[in-house]
Structure 1
């Protein structure tokens, strides 16, 4: 069970990427008071938690309704995660997030960024939704499902802490350290993505 928790935690941590979202949140909330930042951080994590939990609980039933097999979803999700990993290794993902943040900053009427873009697609984006569904598809029984949700909860708590402590985190990490961490996590995610594809291929063949 501990092995499942560690595997799910690392996978979700790499995809949700609390250290990567923190600087984006800092740039989006420039000029906001400490109380406003805290309120938006809490709201964004709660909304993202609701979205990811919903897909974790009913995602498999939704796929079944659409006539999509779990093995097909594993392969598609693994390919998606692999592209995310490549973007992380070559820092394209960070650049896209910064570009998205710049568009939001340039729109004066947008003040509350907790729902968009923070909750979705920054935290509960296509990659994290697919990851939660893939992890849930690999579980057997209520106990294993609870472990996956515990790993998700732990990551969301880390996300909240990262958003609340974004200023000291940015001073501590710096751009170079963050780039190194992002690349290392990208390599790990690439390996996990390949494993998802292999699981899907194995299930469809057998």
Structure 2
């Protein structure tokens, strides 16, 4: 029987919510929809879910195959998370993405939702949380991502540009703290 821990599930869910930042990505999703004409919310969510679950279970083996350990990957991930946080806080883009004709899989599912930051975070979370609790956190986040993708235009009207900017900056600060915590936990500082 699964030994689920509500505190861990809430922590993991909040960390993934901040790193996925689907609310902060609403302007990007709207721009992608305008360029492509249509986004398949279900397809994007399902592909993201599968990528995250595969990396959660196979990420360690992949790292071993290329000669890396989880703490090293977690430290590298803390830098990625740090830069994503700085993007959110400062409004500067360090990572540039090109928009192809079909946007539901690339760049929406990967790398926007299940990108390098998310994958790094998943492996980093495995150093502190039980896998089953991470899995529940992933599923909860993907349900939320699906709801947001289906209701992007309504959410944009509800929050307005100012509300979206405030949310993005608040989650940027949370991510910055997470990056520092991951760095300290995996370096012994």
TM-score by length of 2: 0.89
Residue in 2 that maps onto 1:62: 62
Distance 1:79 1:167 in 2: 32
What pairs up with 1:133-144 in 2 under 5 angstroms? 133-139=123-129, 144=130
Confirm whether residue 20 of structure 1 aligns to residue 10 of structure 2: no
Distance 2:35 2:77 in 1: 38
TM-score by length of 1: 0.82
With over 3 angstroms needed to count, the CA separation of the structure-2 counterparts of 1:83 and 1:32, relative to structure 1, is: closer
Aligned pairs, number: 185
CA RMSD of aligned residues (A): 2.1
Question: Which structure: larger Rg?
Answer: 1
Residue in 1 that maps onto 2:147: 161
Instruction: Say whether the 8 Å CA contact 2:45–2:145 is kept in structure 1.
Output: yes
TM-superposed CA distance for 1:68, in Å, is 1.1
- Greater shift, 47-56 or 16-25, is seen at 16-25
Query: Where does the alignment leave 5 or more consecutive residues of structure 2 unmatched?
Result: none
Residue in 1 that maps onto 2:119: 129
Distance 1:14 1:177 in 2: 16
Residue in 2 that maps onto 1:5: 9
Distance 1:21 1:184 in 2: 14
Instruction: Say whether the 8 Å CA contact 2:44–2:109 is kept in structure 1.
Output: yes
Query: Where does the alignment leave 5 or more consecutive residues of structure 1 unmatched?
Result: none
DSSP-derived class of the 1:92 partner: coil
Confirm whether residue 72 of structure 1 aligns to residue 72 of structure 2: yes
Q: After TM superposition, which residue ranges in structure 1, 4 or more long, deviate above 3 angstroms?
A: none
